[in-house]
Amino acid sequence: MKKIFKLLKDTYSHWDSIDPWATSAIIAYYALFSLPSVLMISVSVAGIFFGTEAVTGSLTKELSVLMGEGSAEAIEGMIKNAMLEDSGAITYIIGIGMLIFGATAVFFQLQKALNSIWGVRAKTESIINTMKRRVTAFGLVAAIAFLLLISLGASAVIDVFSNYLSTYYSKTSAIVVEVFNIILSQIFITALFASIFSILPDVKLKWKYTILGASVTSLMFLLGKYGIGYYFANSNPASVFGAASGVVLVLLWVYYSCLILFFGASFTVVWTNHRNIIVEPTNDATISYARELSDLKSYKAAAEMQHNQEKDKTSL
């Protein structure tokens, strides 16, 4: 029990040291412009199999449960406005490029934040390294599209099965299926967080080391979803913004979600440290100045402690 308490205490200290409040605000700002592109690309990929309108409707339904009806409607409007169906060839190509750039912008900033949490930094910000980071970020967008495709397919099967049970069997069976649907949703969110923790930071981190941190983050995300929903329902923070209230709710939701995400990433860092798991920077990154200073202070403190112990032994 003491180990768990120390783990959580160290996690909070590490999380607080990166100034998560300001970092989350920056990510929320970028997400406001990137979110439509990310979701539009995901909807376009999933729409090949299920139809764009069906996917958009299903996604809006899920987002309304997750973020609230106002935020979901705002995002639905963003997705529809980002569609390029009636554009000319040149406009379409330029639009696709802008969508990809916009979709990767938020993950590019998120990568910087996670690097700060892990105590690493890019060696040089050359054009090649920047392109690599954009490709990595777009790879995560593609992973989100793939996970969305799997989630939609599984949810469709579960909905059909749930309707069948509610029609021919007791409501208890339908409730069991609904619980299973929630569990499946948590697995999806855990996989998403594990992908973020493994792919984005410039560290050599095995997938198996991200599972616990991703699971803790998804659990906190589930609890935070109800907490944020309760806060929105009772305080109505965006009521003073009128027509822009949906956008404000999206900003607030992303802001609070980032706080949870950074806590989960900090938990992963502290947990690997407690387990003496060595996590090294990638070839394109190195240890940050803040981490070098922290390691130097720790080394000096350990050396001073050893010196005092040897001095005490000599005096005895």
Give the bridge partners for 287, in sequence order: 120
Residue 205 confidence (pLDDT) above 70: yes
Q: Which residue has the higher pLDDT, 143 or 192?
A: 192
The Cα–Cα gap between 143 and 161 comes to 27
Q: Taking residues 142-164, report their average pLDDT.
A: 60
Residue 92 confidence (pLDDT) above 60: no
Q: Which are the contacts of 241, defined by CB distance < 8 A and separation ≥ 6?
A: 247, 248
User: Which range in 26-40, 82-96, 159-173 is most confidently predicted, on average pLDDT?
Assistant: 26-40
Q: What DSSP string runs through 99-154?
A: HHHHHHHHHHHHHHHHHHHHTEEES---HHHHHHHHHHHHHHHHHHHHHHHHHHHH
Domain ranges of the chain: 2-283, 288-316
pTM of the model: 0.75
Residue 83 confidence (pLDDT) above 80: no
Which range has the worst mean pLDDT, 141-145, 178-182, 303-307?
A: 303-307
Would you place residue 77 in the very low, low, confident or very high pLDDT band (cuts 50, 70, 90)?
Answer: confident
Residue 102 confidence (pLDDT) above 70: no
Would you place residue 15 in the very low, low, confident or very high pLDDT band (cuts 50, 70, 90)?
Answer: very high
**Across the chain, how many H-helices and E-strands are there?**
10, 2
pLDDT in tens, 265-306: 999 999 998 888 888 888 777 776 555 545 544 444 444 555
Q: Which residue has the higher pLDDT, 71 or 187?
A: 187
Residue 179 confidence (pLDDT) above 60: yes
Q: Taking residues 235-250, report their average pLDDT.
A: 65
Q: Residue 151: what pLDDT?
A: 59
Q: Residue 299: what pLDDT?
A: 47
Q: Residue 302: what pLDDT?
A: 47
Q: Taking residues 42-46, report their average pLDDT.
A: 71
Q: Residue 206: what pLDDT?
A: 85
Query: In 3D, which of 190, 209, 196 has the Cα closest to residue 280?
Result: 209
Residue 18 confidence (pLDDT) above 60: yes
Would you place residue 263 in the very low, low, confident or very high pLDDT band (cuts 50, 70, 90)?
Answer: very high
